[in-house]
Structure 1
């Protein structure tokens, strides 16, 4: 189908889908029975799952690139032997406890029966809802169900500089379908958000709105952003679970991790199936278990191993054999370590991002602007000669805020004072002690034009990587 025609159809469908109202019983049916569980309990339950199967299966399966042509014809999605029961049994053979399927990857092809776009599996030769078959197979096998969804969508032009309100309506409508029509979803793993390669910020597609939509439909569904490793490892920014994509060079600290986490890796060289897979050796079962699953489980981290079905819709024999060997080596434990109590995740937009800043004397190469540049690799450093260093952020005008998160280069502050400026006057906000690299303060909502930190006592010269200011919904 021509791109222009698809675009017209998309806009029509989005407009219609945005007007859909779900019957109350269709939403409430998906909310797990009983009261909503505390987030820390859901996080621990996820950690306790230990080991799962990532399933990259979508239109890139039928190409030699993991990032498919955004105008690829749905006619190529034509598995002759699709069998999701085989996937579930393969996961069980490895002693995995759950699966996670790529419902939509970066090129925008949906493998469920969606009403939001014609670019979906029902317009392929298969004409079957793969998501529905997957969730039924995994639940039948006693396995938990999770779903992957990409914010980046090159087919529908949801990419940097081209995002419209209609795109955001499409995202909300698609997530509503996935969380309404397929039963309980333990977690939604989201990709293509705030990554260097996608460049779609949490402001372009508003994270807090999407997060709250997900929780309104399924309160006990964890929200995970695969790109959260950009942020410091001590705090949950824009995710309920800290994620590490090891193939992208993101590695969890086996010595220092204190957050509920997820580490992922493909069994083969790529995430999606390639024609070389049946004749190419997979990663060794010993390495997957002894170097990944087992040690990660001891540091509050769940390990998810990707297994890619082939173009017939089946897992190759060499991958099946490897999974059976993994099952002989990996034995789920009855009890895993409990992670220390963590701060709730930060999910709001940072209103201090790229805001003007000021400070006491600093090094010329490490001036105050580095602490509001949305880059945790750059820092403001106070000059060592300054006895009473301070740093302030200018919000430009009076704004509401109720959370401050300050990331220091090192845990140098011992005691500090936070203040805010309003009505031509500085007001005290909080004075506290600190032993960590991160300072997180939540308080009753205030209105002000500026915020300032004064370092009262410190071990070494104070420095700030990012000074974040947030107005969280409460």
Structure 2
């Protein structure tokens, strides 16, 4: 093991132990359902994209740009917080590290951080202190993709995983209670870093160990169906990328985000360019989203002095005149716990009863929820099967459809030369989560006993969850 990796793991171990001790003496662990309710009840908050891109007129800057460029000579996080208060926001969320890898806190994991800039001040600390002092809750954003440290597709090493764990441990142990951690650059078509490359299960449980009441959001969950929680505690929608929560039928705890200005990070034309219309933001975005259990986070980008421009400040005040927090939203329905483990059925050999034309069995475990295995309409009792070719342990199976269709089904696993039943019953949801005591088997199969229309499966998942 090389010295650098040993150093990272040592940092992680020490910080993790310290955090566990600290967490044991802090707030009581709340049920996830209660945390989800608290999150949607917050209704409206401020995203703050402030990092190396601020100084390079690009959202994706040179990953080897010198830390000397980061020089906010008038940095004032209290101005940010008071601006958020003027809009009747309830929380703020700061980009602690964006895709180019620059850390705006006093981290021990890398020299590429704010303490080696002319500022030499911990921006995360000043942000968290200022927002709490103004009665606002605190959330943090963290990018998994890190082009400076070469944490990108086909180059990920154990050192990278150790760095991610150590950085998240710092963020969740040095700055008090963090209500939510928004993670970006994971499992997105533009990042191409899977939940296996940087193990989501490990990171999720690390966060919950350090701060049990911190909700986790993956900002790139758009590929997953609207009705299920896959790799996130809260459904997320980046509206600028075309992702839209249903304003008619959503019943999942959700977050949607947009920038007030033209881009996420400050650009030199921002002071003289009109921001989004406050009345439209309130009446066409904020209120309709809140009506369907969706929290709205509006990004406001500080300039190179570390301050909000006058046009942004004026827009926030106008929003505050037009919108007032009406308090808690309606109670959320009972939801299945999120899927956070690796899908061991993904791209494994599969078989099925006769398919409908080209919609063959491989499309039900290709990690693409827009393609489906579809049963041939002449088949009376359709079935679908995954073959692991050896015994595997598992305790959860998910069946996701593009539209709710299958109503009655049986789940079986093959062990010791015979098929054994796991589930036999009714479930009309479009995302069916079946949890059970851990079993060992070499195959898993579903029999579809009843469906409203032609039976189909978008994704069949098998998981061995930590419990």
TM-score tier, shorter chain, comes to over 0.9
Matches of 1:12 and 1:117 in 2, distance apart?
A: 14
- SS at the partner of 1:19? helix
Counterpart selection for 2:10 from 19, 22, 25: 19
Match of 1:170 in 2: 163
State the shift of 1:32 in Å: 7.2
Q: Deviations over 1:111-149 (max 9, x none)?
A: 000000000000011111000000000000000000000
Q: Kindly tell me: are residues 157 and 25 of structure 1, through their superposed partners in 2, closer, same or farther at Cα, counting changes over 3 Å?
A: closer
Matches of 1:78 and 1:224 in 2, distance apart?
A: 30
Match of 1:413 in 2: 406
Match of 1:105 in 2: 98
- SS at the partner of 1:419? strand
State the shift of 1:18 in Å: 1.7
* Structure 1 residues 197-346: aligned runs within 5 Å: 197-346=190-339
User: Contact 1:400/1:445 (CA < 8 Å) preserved in 2?
Assistant: yes
Match of 2:154 in 1: 161
User: Contact 1:366/1:379 (CA < 8 Å) preserved in 2?
Assistant: yes
User: Contact 2:15/2:169 (CA < 8 Å) preserved in 1?
Assistant: no
2:176 matched to 1:183? yes
Moved over 3 A (4+): 11-15, 22-34
Deviates more, 1:160-169 or 1:413-422: 413-422
Q: Kindly tell me: are residues 25 and 195 of structure 1, through their superposed partners in 2, closer, same or farther at Cα, counting changes over 3 Å?
A: closer
Matches of 2:67 and 2:151 in 1, distance apart?
A: 19
State the shift of 1:365 in Å: 0.8
2:154 matched to 1:151? no
Match of 2:83 in 1: 90
* Structure 1 residues 309-388: aligned runs within 5 Å: 309-388=302-381
User: Contact 1:99/1:145 (CA < 8 Å) preserved in 2?
Assistant: yes
- SS at the partner of 1:29? helix
Match of 2:186 in 1: 193
State the shift of 1:68 in Å: 1.3
State the shift of 1:435 in Å: 1.8
User: Contact 1:94/1:325 (CA < 8 Å) preserved in 2?
Assistant: yes
Match of 2:457 in 1: 464
User: Contact 2:16/2:210 (CA < 8 Å) preserved in 1?
Assistant: no
Matches of 1:27 and 1:406 in 2, distance apart?
A: 36
User: Contact 1:32/1:218 (CA < 8 Å) preserved in 2?
Assistant: no
Where does structure 2 lack aligned partners over 5 or more consecutive residues?
Answer: none
Match of 1:5 in 2: none
Counterpart selection for 1:425 from 418, 424, 427: 418
Counterpart selection for 2:32 from 9, 31, 39: 39
Q: Superposition RMSD on alpha carbons, in Å?
A: 1.3
Deviates more, 1:49-58 or 1:450-459: 450-459
Match of 1:6 in 2: none
2:433 matched to 1:444? no
State the shift of 1:13 in Å: 5.4
- SS at the partner of 1:294? helix
User: Contact 2:15/2:166 (CA < 8 Å) preserved in 1?
Assistant: no
Matches of 1:56 and 1:414 in 2, distance apart?
A: 45
Match of 2:65 in 1: 72
Match of 1:3 in 2: none
State the shift of 1:12 in Å: 5.8
Q: Deviations over 1:135-185 (max 9, x none)?
A: 000000000000000000000000010000000000000001000100000
Match of 1:453 in 2: 446
Deviates more, 1:409-418 or 1:130-139: 409-418
TM-score (norm 1): 0.96
Match of 2:116 in 1: 123
Where does structure 1 lack aligned partners over 5 or more consecutive residues?
Answer: 1-10
Q: Kindly tell me: are residues 65 and 297 of structure 1, through their superposed partners in 2, closer, same or farther at Cα, counting changes over 3 Å?
A: same
Matches of 1:298 and 1:306 in 2, distance apart?
A: 21
Number of residue pairs matched by the alignment: 464
State the shift of 1:30 in Å: 4.7
Q: Kindly tell me: are residues 23 and 267 of structure 1, through their superposed partners in 2, closer, same or farther at Cα, counting changes over 3 Å?
A: closer
Matches of 1:220 and 1:34 in 2, distance apart?
A: 8
User: Contact 2:48/2:302 (CA < 8 Å) preserved in 1?
Assistant: yes
State the shift of 1:28 in Å: 3.6
Matches of 1:14 and 1:108 in 2, distance apart?
A: 18
Q: Kindly tell me: are residues 24 and 375 of structure 1, through their superposed partners in 2, closer, same or farther at Cα, counting changes over 3 Å?
A: closer
Q: Kindly tell me: are residues 320 and 32 of structure 1, through their superposed partners in 2, closer, same or farther at Cα, counting changes over 3 Å?
A: farther
